[in-house]
A and B are shown apart, each in its own frame.
Chain A
Amino acid sequence: MAKIETFYEVMRRQGITRRSFLKYCSLTAASLGLSPAFAPKIAHAMETKPRLPVLWLHGLECTCCSESFIRSAHPLAKDVILSMLSLDYDDTIMAAAGHQAESIIEETIKKYDGQFLLAVEGNAPLNQDGMSMIIAGKPFSEQLNRVSQHCKAIISWGSCASWGCVQAASPNPTHAVPTHKHPGIANKPIIKVPGCPPIAEVMTAVIAYMITFDKIPSLDRQGRPKMFYSQRIHDKCYRRPHFDAGQFVEEYDDEYARKGYCLYKVGCKGPTTYNACSTIRWNEGTSFPIQAGHGCIGCSEDGFWDKGSFYDRLSGIHQFGIESNADEVGGTAAAIVGGAIAVHAAASAIKSATNKADQGDK
C-alpha cells in the first residue's frame, strides 16, 4: 500500500495550528456523544492513521447530499473534512473529467483493495437495463456492483441510497432501488445515513467515527447509526413543552403560529421521524424546519413520498379515495355499523311485536 499522509499532516500542511486541531478533536468527540477522554484518542488516530480513501459514487440523485456535506460547519469545515478523507472520486466536485476521472476508480480499487470506503449518493435504476442512469457509457448499476466488491464498507448517503426517495416513489418508472436492495451488491456492511439531505455534521461525524475507531458505528435494526438516529425529532424538540401543555398551532397563519406553539396539529411529522435535526440543527446550528415555523415532513423516513400528504400525521389510505386516512376510514366504518345496528334494532322490535301479536291470536 502506498504511503499516504495522515490527517494531521494534511491539516498542518493546510496551515491549521495544532491548537485548532485539538479543538477539532474535542468537538468531534462531543458531537459523537463521547466523553472528553476520547478527544486524545481521536487526536492520536488523526496523527497516526493514513487518510481513508473514499470513492463517492453518484446515482440518480439531486446532489443535495453533496451540497449538505460541503457545508459541514464542523470545527474545521469543508477543506479539512475533504482532506481528511482522501476523496479520490466524486464526479460532482473532482477536477478530473471523462476517462481521466473514471480511471481513478480502477486505480483506487487496485491500490487500496478492501480498504477504501464506498459512499453512495443516489441509487441505481433497474428498468430498461439501467439506461436511466449511465456513467461513462455504462449503467451505474454495474459501477456500483463492481466497486462494492472491493470496498471495506458502504455508506448510503441520504434517503435515495437508504430508502429510494423520490425517484423510487410510486409508480417508480425506472425501478430505482436503494443500495441494500440492489441486486448483486457485495455483502459488505451498509451504513444508512438517511435524510433529504442528511445533516452535514452527521455525515462528517459518521466518517470521523469510522476513522477514529476503525469500525462502523453501532447501527439500529434498520441500519442507521444509533448515535444520530435513535431518537425522534419530537423527543428533543424545543417546542415539546407546548405539545405537553396542549398548545398547538391550529392554522399556519394564526396567533399560535406566531407564538411558536407545537406544529403537531398542522401535520408535523416530528413524532414519527428519527433524525437529529432538533439537536444538531442546520447551517452551523442556526435553525431547523420546526424552528422556522414549518412542521417536519419526515424526509429521513422510509417511503416518505408515498405516505400521503406532508401535512398529515397519518399515512394516506388510497384504496378508499385519494385523501382518506385511518380516522376517516374508521369513522365511516363505525357510522355504517351504527346505522346497520339501528336498522337491525328497529327490525327486531317489529319482529318481536308481530311475534307477540301472532301468539295473542292463537
Chain B
Amino acid sequence: MSDSSITTDTSHDIVKHTESVYVYEAPVRIWHWVNALAITVLCVTGYFIGAPLPTMPGDPSSSYLMGYIRFAHFASGYVLAVGMLGRIYWALVGNHHAKQLFIPPVSKEHIKGMIHEARWYAFLEKESVKCVGHNPLAQAAMFTMFVFGTFFMIITGFALYGEGTGMGSWQYNMFSSWVIPLFGQSQDVHTFHHLGMWFLIVFIMAHVYAAIREDIMSRQSMVSTMISGWRMFKDNRP
C-alpha cells in the first residue's frame, strides 16, 4: 500500500522511510466529512434550541421556525448516531488505521510519544514525529474528547428526544428511561447536553487548528489526507 519501502514501528506507526501511504479508506473519509457537517448543524441548531432567535411576528400558524430548527437538529442527530454505528462497523472490517480512533492511548510507547508531541507543540522539539495514522497526542484527544464526547451526546441526546416521543417509544425505552433517573431529572440532562456541546466545540477548534498547523509545519500531509486518503511525507529522514 505504499509507493516506496516502509518499515513501521507497530506501536503507533512511526515511519522510518517512505513517501506516501494509503491511510484512510473511502468509508472513513466520507464518514469524516458527513460527521463534520452533522456536528456543525447540531451545534448551530442546538444553540438556537437553547437560546431561540428573536420572536417571529404574525400568526403562529404561519411560521414553524422552532419546529424546523428542531427537525434539523433531530435529523442530524440521527445522521451522527447512524454514522457512528457505521464507523464502528468499519473499525471492525476496515484497515488497521480505522481501529485507531477507538483505542485508548495507554501503552508506554504511547505516553512517550504523547510527551514528545506535547514538547513539539510547546516549541521544545525541533521536529515532529512521522506518523501514518494519528500522532500519539492526537489519538489521545480523539479518544478522550471526540469518541467519549460523541457517545455522551448521542446518549443524552436520544434521552432528551425520547422525552418528546414519549413512554413506550424505543428512544424512551432505550435511553430516557435510565438516563433521566441517572442524572436526577430532565433539567440536569439538558444542562450536561449543553456542556457536551461546548466540550465538542473545544475539541473541534483544537482539531481544526492542529490539522492545519501540522499540514504546514510537520513533516506529513494532514488536510489532503482526509480528502484523498493518502498520507504524503515531506522528507525521507526517519
**Interface contact A301-B123, CB-CB below 8 Å:** no
**Interface contact B178-A221, CB-CB below 8 Å:** yes
**Which residues of the partner chain B approach A326 to less than 8 Å between Cβ atoms?**
191-192, 194-195, 198
Assembly CA distance A242 to B52 (angstroms): 12
Assembly CA distance A219 to B56 (angstroms): 40
**Which residues of the partner chain B approach A298 to less than 8 Å between Cβ atoms?**
185, 187
- The interface bits of chain B over 114-158 (1 if a CB of A lies within 8 angstroms of the residue's CB, else 0) are 000000010100000000000000000000000000000000000
**Which residues of the partner chain B approach A273 to less than 8 Å between Cβ atoms?**
186
Is B184 in the interface zone, CB < 8 Å from A? yes
Given A247-B55, A337-B205, also A241-B188 (CB < 8 A): no
Assembly CA distance A230 to B185 (angstroms): 13
**Interface contact A314-B190, CB-CB below 8 Å:** yes
Q: Point out the residue from A265, A314, A337 that lies within 8 Å of B191, measured CB to CB.
A: A314
**Interface contact B205-A341, CB-CB below 8 Å:** yes
Is B238 in the interface zone, CB < 8 Å from A? no
Q: Chain A: how many interface residues by the 8 Å CB criterion?
A: 52
Which of B62, B187, B201 has the most CB atoms of chain A within a 10 A radius of its CB? B187
**Which residues of the partner chain B approach A327 to less than 8 Å between Cβ atoms?**
50-51, 194, 198
- The interface bits of chain A over 209-238 (1 if a CB of B lies within 8 angstroms of the residue's CB, else 0) are 000000000001110001000111001000
Which chain A residue has the least Cβ–Cβ distance from B54? A250
Which chain A residue has the least Cβ–Cβ distance from B182? A221
Is A15 in the interface zone, CB < 8 Å from B? no
Given A301-B185, A315-B187, also A221-B56 (CB < 8 A): no
Which chain A residue has the least Cβ–Cβ distance from B69? A246
Given A301-B185, A348-B213, also A246-B194 (CB < 8 A): no
**Which residues of the partner chain A approach B123 to less than 8 Å between Cβ atoms?**
347-348, 351
Q: Point out the residue from A231, A248, A315 that lies within 8 Å of B166, measured CB to CB.
A: A231
**Interface contact A246-B184, CB-CB below 8 Å:** no
Q: Point out the residue from B55, B178, B202 that lies within 8 Å of A248, measured CB to CB.
A: B55
- The interface bits of chain B over 4-32 (1 if a CB of A lies within 8 angstroms of the residue's CB, else 0) are 00000000000000000000000000000
**Interface contact B191-A246, CB-CB below 8 Å:** no
**Interface contact B198-A245, CB-CB below 8 Å:** no
Given A246-B52, A265-B52, A341-B205, also A272-B187 (CB < 8 A): yes
Is B44 in the interface zone, CB < 8 Å from A? no
**Interface contact B206-A313, CB-CB below 8 Å:** no
Which chain A residue has the least Cβ–Cβ distance from B63? A245
Is A7 in the interface zone, CB < 8 Å from B? no
Is B39 in the interface zone, CB < 8 Å from A? no
**Which residues of the partner chain B approach A269 to less than 8 Å between Cβ atoms?**
187
**Which residues of the partner chain B approach A221 to less than 8 Å between Cβ atoms?**
177-178, 181
**Interface contact B66-A244, CB-CB below 8 Å:** yes
Q: Point out the residue from B52, B186, B197 that lies within 8 Å of A272, measured CB to CB.
A: B186
**Which residues of the partner chain A approach B33 to less than 8 Å between Cβ atoms?**
none
Given A245-B56, A348-B217, also A334-B187 (CB < 8 A): no
Closest 3 CB pairs of A and B: A330-B198, A246-B65, A326-B194
A-B contact pairs, 29 of them (CB 8 A): A220-B177, A235-B166, A245-B61, A245-B64, A245-B65, A245-B66, A246-B52, A246-B56, A246-B69, A256-B55, A261-B55, A271-B190, A272-B185, A272-B187, A307-B188, A313-B190, A314-B187, A314-B190, A314-B194, A315-B190, A315-B191, A325-B191, A327-B51, A330-B197, A330-B198, A333-B198, A334-B202, A337-B206, A341-B206
